[in-house]
Structure 1
Amino acid sequence: MPEKYFEIRWHARAGQGAKSASQFLTEAAEEAGKYSSSFPEYGAERSGAPMKAFNRVADVPIRLKSNIETPDVVVVIDDTLLKNSEVTSGLAEDKLLLVNTSRSIEEVRKLSGYKGRIGVIPATEIALEEIKRGIPNTVMIGALIRATDVVPLDAVKEKIKAAFSKKFSDEVVRANIRALERGYQEVKLSE
């Protein structure tokens, strides 16, 4: 029987931080003692073009290297992508669609046609308030952790401190931790 991996597919536009969020989550998972992989997939390589990133997280070594067709979670960083049926392709109704949006769960359900569990968080707004930049990936990681417990929140906080303190001021580090915590606390989940 094949090993079961926890699989995440990210949908965004190039330049919105999905690749970085995916890589960051993998590094935090590994530091928390799990096995993890991360890789992007680009269409046209230009800023603003739709792209995907993928994560696998497991308690055993990950041997599978293919794209993720039946994810446990789909994370959507740009809600204008919700009308694209590819976003929810392969996402079973007992799984999670997590969206960066100021729209309600009901609006996301109508736009996407997805009947399963939905999470919404205005991640770009939170990022602008906390980090002063419209890059929502840290907020989305917080929301993802709250919805799934894929990695411990403290492991991500430690990863932020270790990675960001080398390049940024203490205030930037604190702002990113606040953004992560707000994503964790403020995500709204259906059911």
Structure 2
Amino acid sequence: MGKLLEIRWHGRGGQGAKTGALLLGEVLVTTGKFMQAFPDYGPERMGAPMRAYNRVSDEPITIHSGVTNPEVVVVLDATLLGKVDVTAGLPEDGVLIVNTQKSPAEIRKQLGLSGRKVFTIDA
């Protein structure tokens, strides 16, 4: 298999992490990419922390397990920072995108990060 891009989404049930992963996957399929998009949550109620995932490749994807080492992590709810290890498995050259009013420098400091690319967006 060629280069595989893995993305992990963090949010709370009902915030759109599952929908975001599915929509990203549908867009990528229209560009000729192969993709997987799937949520990971238990019997929790709306508002409970949950994850969703994407895998993207130029070739068919034969992996059917969770994403443990994503190249990109998207955090939809900044209140999860410090409660959930959103950087687990994220490599030093990985990308962290956080929905927050804080600056990337503030997020780096809050999470004790160095070397990772951090982007923030107030959405």
Q: Which TM-score bucket, shorter chain as reference?
A: over 0.9
For residues 7-61 of structure 1, the C-alpha deviation after alignment (integer angstroms, 9 at most, x for no partner) is 0000000000000000001111001110000000014421110000000000000
Alignment correspondent of 2:5: 6
Once residues 45 and 119 of structure 1 are traced to their aligned partners in structure 2, the CA distance between those partners, rounded to angstroms, is 29
Alignment correspondent of 2:56: 57
Once residues 28 and 120 of structure 1 are traced to their aligned partners in structure 2, the CA distance between those partners, rounded to angstroms, is 22
Identical pairs, percent: 49
Tell me which amino acid in the other structure corresponds to 2:36: S
Once residues 108 and 83 of structure 2 are traced to their aligned partners in structure 1, the CA distance between those partners, rounded to angstroms, is 13
- Tell me the TM-score normalized by structure 1: 0.61
Once residues 3 and 63 of structure 2 are traced to their aligned partners in structure 1, the CA distance between those partners, rounded to angstroms, is 10
Structure 1: where are the runs of 5+ without partners?
124-191
Once residues 120 and 43 of structure 2 are traced to their aligned partners in structure 1, the CA distance between those partners, rounded to angstroms, is 28
Rg comparison, structure with higher value: 1
Secondary structure of 1:64 counterpart: coil
For residues 130-175 of structure 1, the C-alpha deviation after alignment (integer angstroms, 9 at most, x for no partner) is xxxxxxxxxxxxxxxxxxxxxxxxxxxxxxxxxxxxxxxxxxxxxx
> Is the 8 Å Cα contact of residues 6 and 53 (structure 2) preserved in structure 1?
yes
Structure 2: where are the runs of 5+ without partners?
none
Alignment correspondent of 1:162: none
Once residues 66 and 36 of structure 2 are traced to their aligned partners in structure 1, the CA distance between those partners, rounded to angstroms, is 11
Alignment correspondent of 1:117: 117
The alignment of Structure 1 onto Structure 2 pairs a total of residues equal to 122
Once residues 68 and 4 of structure 1 are traced to their aligned partners in structure 2, the CA distance between those partners, rounded to angstroms, is 15
Q: Which has the higher helix share?
A: 1
Once residues 66 and 78 of structure 1 are traced to their aligned partners in structure 2, the CA distance between those partners, rounded to angstroms, is 25
Secondary structure of 1:83 counterpart: coil
**Could you say what the CA RMSD is over the residues aligned between the two structures, in angstroms?**
1.2
How far 1:3 sits from its partner (Å)?
A: 4.1
Greater RCO between the two (CA within 8 Å, min separation 6)? 2
How far 1:122 sits from its partner (Å)?
A: 0.2
Q: Which has the higher strand share?
A: 2
Alignment correspondent of 1:73: 72
> Is the 8 Å Cα contact of residues 3 and 58 (structure 2) preserved in structure 1?
no
Once residues 65 and 109 of structure 1 are traced to their aligned partners in structure 2, the CA distance between those partners, rounded to angstroms, is 32
Alignment correspondent of 1:108: 107
Deviating runs (4+, > 3 A) in structure 1? none
